[in-house]
Chains A and B, each alone.
Chain A
Amino acid sequence: MVNWIWLFFIVAGFVVAAINGRIDAVTEAAFEGAKTGVTVCFGLISVLVFWLGLMRIAEDAGLLKKMSKLLSPFVRFLFPSVPRDHPALGYILSNMSANILGLGNAATPAGIKAMQELQKLNPDKESASAAMSTLLAINTASITLIPTTMIAIKMNFGSKTPTDIVGPTLAATAIALAAAIVLDKWYQRRTPAAPPQPSPPPSPPPPSGDT
């Protein structure tokens, strides 16, 4: 899909430029854009290096584990179908903690490991189980404590207040996360009711992963 979007930008740009008689602007714009891309990346180096350094200190100090402990009641609420001592829970916790701390490169491996463990619990290996969908929802809406990259780019362009987006980002991401959880729970309750049984399910919950 990215391929098509990229192609669309270039082809549509070319066609409109030709119609508008601005074809000379295309060359200039292409190289100007490429130049900005490099400039931005080099500006990112200082902030990313500093932040990942700080985050490594946090990890070495055991803050990742502390965070996991803090999140564990929350995770048990989100993943009721995963048995208490299952290794999947550990990976889910470190995935979430790493996401919160902005350790993108630690979050992805933990997330994939969590998926592999959840796949072992999944009765239908081709379809996503409820727990897998929950993990995905949590990941796509996960809380951002410090939007490092955005701060760096603002600094690049000479912002007077580069960190003023921290609070708004935190607030917006919390709303997105709440929405993701509500939606996920709602779909989860709706999905097992798919067979022709309109009556509300009795108190014992239906078997998990029954999507």
Chain B
Amino acid sequence: MSSVITAVSAWAIPVMVVLIPLYAAYRKVPVYESFTEGAKEGFDTAIRIIPHLVGMMAAISIFRASGAMDMLVGAVAPLFARLGVPADVLPLALLRPITGAGSLAYTTDLMKTFGPDSFVAQIAATVQGSTDTTLYVLTVYFGAVGIRKAGYALKVGLVSDLIGFFAAVAVCYLVFA
């Protein structure tokens, strides 16, 4: 099972990089022009998140340097150690549904502190990729049509975020531990 997952990781991007332009060329798409047209948006996206990431990284950096992060992690570590979750990724479970930029900043902070290929960083990256900013999506989508009562939608979103979090931890144990 873990070798399958490793193989998917190694092959997914090269296969897409070759197959998509090849198929597009077969469909008579001007591939290079298409590429540059879409690529323009990438720059805007990266620039647009600078204020969010700077703000959050500064706040998290203060929180960590002061020793407050150690206190928080120390307080919840015993509980999470029983479930096999490294305490350092716990704040991510709380941040993820609330703030996309915040959880991105926290994951970046973990990569910087522990190294990008550390077990903690792998879990954080997997959590980041497999869950979403539920509260933001709910606000945007329901806000756009004037829904005030979200009913059970919020519960479903948050519980599946939590399941995604534990699934990410479990899969990382399977593949990286």
Count class of interface residues, chain B:
35 or more
Instruction: Pick from A10, A105, A154: contact of B125, CB below 8 A.
Output: A154
CB distance B167 to A34 under 8 Å? no
Closest to A173 in B: B130
B130-A166 in contact (CB<8A): no
Considering only CB atoms, which chain B residue lies closest to A120 in the complex? B145
Q: Hey, what's the 0/1 contact readout for A135-158 against B, CB within 8 Å counting as 1?
A: 111011110111101110111111
Contact, CB under 8 Å: A14 / B66: yes
**A203 contacts chain B at the CB level, 8 A cutoff:** no
Q: What mask results when residues 5 to 31 of chain B are scored 1 for a CB within 8 Å of chain A, else 0?
A: 111111011001100110110010101
Residues of B within 8 A of A168 (CB): 5, 9, 122, 126, 168, 171-172, 175-176
Contact with A33, one of B4, B58, B71, B116 (Cβ below 8 angstroms): B58
Give chain A interface residues in 51-79, CB to chain B under 8 Å: 51-63
Q: Which of A63, A104, A105, A165 contacts B9 (CB 8 A)?
A: A165
Q: How far is the CA of A187 from the CA of B159 in the complex (A)?
A: 12
Residues of chain A contacted by B145 (CB below 8 angstroms): 112, 115-116, 118-119
- Give Cα A112–Cα B147 distance, bound, in whole angstroms: 12
* Contact present for B141 and A149 (CB under 8 Å): no
A115-B141 contact in complex given A45-B42, A137-B156, C-beta closer than 8 Å: yes
Q: Does residue A167 face the partner (Cβ distance < 8 Å to B)?
A: yes
Identify which of A34, A127, A166, A211 contacts B57 (C-beta below 8 A): A34
Contact, CB under 8 Å: B141 / A111: yes
Query: What A residues does B49 contact at CB under 8 A?
Result: 41, 44
Interface of chain B residues 13 through 70 with chain A (CB within 8 A): 13, 16-17, 20-21, 23-24, 27, 29, 31, 34-43, 45-47, 49-50, 53-68
Known interface pairs A53-B38, A115-B144, A126-B149; A22-B65 also in contact (CB < 8 Å): yes
Q: Give the secondary structure class of B's interface.
A: helix
User: A residues within 8 A CB of B47?
Assistant: 41, 45
Assembled-state Cα–Cα distance A63/B22 (Å): 12
B148 at the interface (CB under 8 A from A): yes
The answer to whether B126 and A161 touch across the interface, beta carbons within 8 angstroms, is no
Which of B34, B54, B125 has most chain A Cβ within 10 Å? B125
- Contact call A33/B160, Cβ cutoff below 8 A: no
The reply to whether B175 and A9 form a contact with Cβ atoms under 8 Å apart is no
Tell me, in angstroms, the Cα distance from A26 to B68 when the chains sit together.
12
- Give chain A nearest CB distance to B34 CB in angstroms: 5
Q: Provided the pairs A38-B54, A128-B149 are in contact, do residues A153 and B107 lie with their beta carbons within 8 angstroms?
A: yes
A160 beta carbon closer than 8 Å to chain B = yes
8 shortest interchain CB distances as A-B pairs: A56-B38, A33-B61, A176-B164, A147-B129, A167-B5, A53-B39, A49-B42, A29-B65
Q: Show 29 residue pairs from A and B whose CB-CB distance is below 8 angstroms, ordered by the A residue.
A: A6-B55, A14-B66, A17-B67, A33-B58, A33-B59, A33-B60, A34-B54, A36-B109, A37-B57, A38-B54, A45-B46, A47-B42, A53-B37, A53-B39, A57-B21, A57-B24, A57-B29, A150-B129, A154-B125, A155-B116, A158-B116, A165-B9, A167-B7, A167-B175, A168-B126, A168-B168, A172-B171, A175-B164, A176-B161
Query: Known contacts A36-B112, A140-B138, A141-B132; can you find 13 more A-B pairs with CB under 8 A?
Result: A13-B65, A48-B42, A52-B38, A52-B41, A53-B38, A57-B34, A132-B147, A140-B131, A159-B117, A167-B5, A170-B12, A172-B127, A175-B171
